[in-house]
Chain A
Amino acid sequence: NAGVTQTPKFRVLKTGQSMTLLCAQDMNHEYMYWYRQDPGMGLRLIHYSVGEGTTAKGEVPDGYNVSRLKKQNFLLGLESAAPSQTSVYFCASSSPGTGGIYEQYFGPGTRLTVT
């Protein structure tokens, strides 16, 4: 049981390049999330999914797209990377727990630098 895994762990992009971050979970969770973490700003929600085939925008969706073709995978795409997207990206998953607890399980993160 690997939990939540993210690929890659590190990446350096040039401005204008594209890439896809992959998140996979083996806990059969319905909900999946992409956050970005910037110094002094905590985590901000980019996009999320409440089930296979569904996605929705979070607080900071501009410049990103997502897809949830399979329940266990949630992909985050950057079509044309910008320096402002330099950040650490975290994927998380959750499923309704006992008493409605919304505990989220996090992956180890992807550190992305855009030059």
Chain B
Amino acid sequence: GEDVEQSLFLSVREGDSSVINCTYTDSSSTYLYWYKQEPGAGLQLLTYIFSNMDMKQDQRLTVLLNKKDKHLSLRIADTQTGDSAIYFCAEAQDTGRRALTFGSGTRLQVQP
């Protein structure tokens, strides 16, 4: 079955690193995504990782994938107040519908 889980809330101070965690259950997932949702807006793709990769770095963002434990994390370095948002992880299977299964989202609060 498909299930993606995230912790609901994370609070950090400006300048610190943030680590948002996600676990998924479907071992056939081909791509894993991180989306960001700012208040009143739709979801915006932040980054993604292919399932045969362990790590991907993109400027302040680092994605780590532990396939054995089905654990995905997003690290934001030097977190800024503009990073305050809800972060969703999502998985995609290589099926015809190409739909994503989303976690419940982690609300990141950055304190000045």
Q: Chain A residues in contact with chain B, CB under 8 A?
A: 4, 31, 33, 35, 40-45, 48, 50, 56, 58, 90, 92, 94, 96, 99-109
Contact = CB atoms under 8 A, between A and B. Distances in A.
A104 B98 CA distance: 9
7 contacts: A35-B102, A41-B104, A42-B88, A43-B100, A50-B98, A100-B94, A109-B41
Interface of B: 4, 8, 30-31, 33, 40-45, 48, 50, 88, 92, 94, 96-100, 102-105
Q: From DSSP, what is the main secondary structure of chain A's interface residues?
A: strand
Central interface residue in A42, A48, A105, A107, by most chain B CB within 10 Å:
A42
Nearest to B30: A100
Contact of A90 (B4, B43, B50, B99): B43
Contacts, number: 60
Contact of A42 (B33, B97, B102): B102
A108 B94 contact: no
A61 to B, nearest CB: 13
Nearest to A96: B98
Given A40-B8, A42-B88, A102 B42 contact: no
B24 to A, nearest CB: 12
A68 B98 CA distance: 17
Given A103-B48, A108-B41, A48 B88 contact: no
Contacts of B8: 40
